[in-house]
Amino acid sequence: MTGASELLTLRGHGPRRGDSLSNLGLIKDGALLVRDGVIAAVGTRAELEKLPEARGAEKLDLGGRVALPGFVDSHTHLVHAASRAEEYELKIAGASYEEIARKGGGILNSVKKLRATTSEALKKRALAALKQFAAHGTTTVEAKSGYGLDVASELKILRLHKELASEQPLEIASTFLGAHVVPEEYWGKAGGAERYIQLIEQNLLPEIGEKRLAEFCDVFCDRGAFTVEQSKRVLQAGRQWGLAPRLHAEQLSRTGAARLAILMRAASCDHLEQVNKSDIQALGKSDTVATLLPGCDFHLGLRQYAPARALIAAGAIVSLATDYNPGTSPTLSVSMILSLACTQLRMTAAEAIAAATINAAYALRREKSIGSLEVGKQADLAVFEVADYREIPYYFGVNHCWMTVKRGRVIHAPEQAAN
**Binding footprint of Fe ion on the chain (CB under 5 A):** 323
Q: Is 81 in the site for ligand NIG (CB under 6 A)?
A: no
Specify the amino acid at residue 360: A
Report the residue number, 324 or 402, with the smaller CB distance to Fe ion: 324
Q: Is 251 in the site for ligand NIG (CB under 6 A)?
A: yes
* Minimum distance of ligand NIG from residue 228's CB (angstroms): 15
Q: Is 140 in the site for ligand NIG (CB under 6 A)?
A: no
Stretch that binds ligand NIG, among 24-32, 104-112, 367-375, 409-417 (CB under 6 A): 104-112
> Residue 296 touches which of ligand NIG, Fe ion, none (CB < 5 to 8 A by kind)?
ligand NIG
* Among 264, 386, 263, residue whose Cα is nearest residue 335: 386
Q: Is 294 in the site for ligand NIG (CB under 6 A)?
A: no
* Minimum distance of Fe ion from residue 222's CB (angstroms): 11
Q: From CA 30, how far away is CA 47, in angstroms rounded? A: 9
> Residue 220 touches which of Fe ion, ligand NIG, none (CB < 5 to 8 A by kind)?
ligand NIG
Q: From CA 252, how far away is CA 390, in angstroms rounded? A: 32
> Residue 358 touches which of Fe ion, ligand NIG, none (CB < 5 to 8 A by kind)?
none
* Minimum distance of ligand NIG from residue 321's CB (angstroms): 10
Report the residue number, 77 or 377, with the smaller CB distance to Fe ion: 77
Reported as half-sphere exposure (CB side, CA atoms, 13 A), residue 155 has a value of 15
Tell me whether strands 38-44 and 26-35 are parallel, antiparallel or unpaired: antiparallel
Q: Is 106 in the site for ligand NIG (CB under 6 A)?
A: yes
Q: Is 154 in the site for ligand NIG (CB under 6 A)?
A: no
* Minimum distance of ligand NIG from residue 330's CB (angstroms): 10
Report the residue number, 272 or 352, with the smaller CB distance to ligand NIG: 272
Report the residue number, 74 or 378, with the smaller CB distance to ligand NIG: 74
* Among 331, 279, 379, 328, residue whose Cα is nearest residue 98: 328
Specify the amino acid at residue 246: R
Other beta carbons less than 10 A from residue 2's beta carbon = 20
Q: Reduced to 3 states, what is the DSSP secondary structure of residue 292?
A: strand
What residues between 315 and 334 interact with ligand NIG by CB under 6 A?
323, 325-328
Q: From CA 360, how far away is CA 335, in angstroms rounded? A: 14
Give the gyration radius of the chain's Cα atoms.
21
* Among 140, 138, 25, 9, residue whose Cα is nearest residue 68: 9
- 8-state DSSP, 155: H
Report the residue number, 154 or 323, with the smaller CB distance to Fe ion: 323
* Minimum distance of ligand NIG from residue 108's CB (angstroms): 9
Give the residue, chosen from 160, 249, 296, 405, that forms a contact with ligand NIG under the rule CB under 6 A. Answer: 296
Contact 302, 294 (CB under 8 A): no
The residue ranges of DSSP E strands in 204-292, in sequence order, are: 216-221, 244-249, 268-271, 289-292
- x/- contact string, 193-222, with ligand NIG (CB under 6 A)? ---------------------------x--
* Among 108, 189, 187, residue whose Cα is nearest residue 146: 108
Give the residue, chosen from 110, 145, 268, 357, that forms a contact with ligand NIG under the rule CB under 6 A. Answer: 110
Report the residue number, 100 or 342, with the smaller CB distance to ligand NIG: 100
Q: From CA 52, how far away is CA 49, in angstroms rounded? A: 8
> Residue 30 touches which of Fe ion, ligand NIG, none (CB < 5 to 8 A by kind)?
none
Longest dimension (CA), the chain: 73
Report the residue number, 273 or 385, with the smaller CB distance to Fe ion: 273
State the DSSP string of 80-138.
Answer: -S---HHHHHHHHTT--HHHHHHTT-THHHHHHHHHTS-HHHHHHHHHHHHHHHHHTTE
Report the residue number, 297 or 385, with the smaller CB distance to Fe ion: 297
Contact 1, 31 (CB under 8 A): yes
Report the residue number, 325 or 357, with the smaller CB distance to ligand NIG: 325
* Minimum distance of Fe ion from residue 11's CB (angstroms): 30
Q: Which residues bind ligand NIG (CB under 6 A)?
A: 106-107, 110, 220, 248, 251, 296, 323, 325-328
